Structure 1
Amino acid sequence: MDLSSLLRPAAVRAVANVASKKRLFQDLADIAAQAYGLDAAIIVDALQERESLGPTGVGHGVALPHARLHGLDHVVGVFMRLEKPLDFDAVDRQPVDLVFGLLAPKSSGVDHLKALALVSRTMRNEDTCKKLRSNTDPAALHGVLTTTQGLAA
């Protein structure tokens, strides 16, 4: 499994401003709906339900919201780079500006966990995050994510 199999170029965006976590989930859902043909309302509900179990802000400005959905046959990703960091109740209490959302089939089991581990390793890499923060072009962001993941292992 690699990020290029999880993340379509159409599912990567740079966003100037997001006012709240709820709005962020709506934007993630809208991008996923466009890129993968999924139902945005179902995604928002699933992300909010998962977030109610505990915040997915993992620290250092990174959030990894994720959820399981019916009707999905493989794990997919959505990435957003926020120009203005958002308070996300992260573990280190720092605002978030890099958001990698994962959506997995309800029955995905280990595939969901493998994808989450891969994304987590990638997003813990300081050089990768630095490159993501210095780019606003979605194609460049996708390229950074899909070509530098080997550095994160």
Structure 2
Amino acid sequence: MKLLAERLYLRDLEASDVDAVHEYASSIEVVLHQEWGPNTIEQTREYIAACVLGNSLPDRRTLELAAVLNDGSLIGSYRASLSECGTEAEIGYSLNPRYWHKGYATEAAKRLVDYLVNERTVREIFATSRPENVASIHVLEKLGMQQVDLYRKNVLIRGEWRDTLVFSVETG
């Protein structure tokens, strides 16, 4: 799978992506608001291996995609998990900090949402964020998402119970 945007494209994660993914997956700055990480190199290898296997399934409902600039630089990863019936999807993303604040996160997310709506006929798209992750919230708002829920202290992140905001957009 390859989804083209203006300055980048999304494609299936590949075994050769380990080093580029590990560069950001091992960064506390990237995983500050995540339940996972920072990854060891072995954890990143296991993650990539699981993605490659999952992406090879003919009727996969989870898409594990690399965000790649047109010059070939892998800058992040995106996930879309489709519901059993395929009419709903949850998206998520992680981006290498070297590429933050350049519009890449939004561009890639818009392309993924476009694919889900127009080619997979998804009618509602969800995403979550920590309240402190202002940059990610801005990306979700640029996708037309609105906050629809707040879960108080529902996620344990490095020993601290944290809140979760839920965002959604109906597409059809």
Q: Which has the higher contact order (CA 8 A, sep 6+)?
A: 1
Does TM, normalized by the shorter one, top 0.5?
A: no
Max Rg structure: 2
Which protein has the bigger helix share?
Answer: 1
Which protein has the bigger strand share?
Answer: 2
TM-score (norm. length: structure 2): 0.28
TM-score (norm. length: structure 1): 0.30
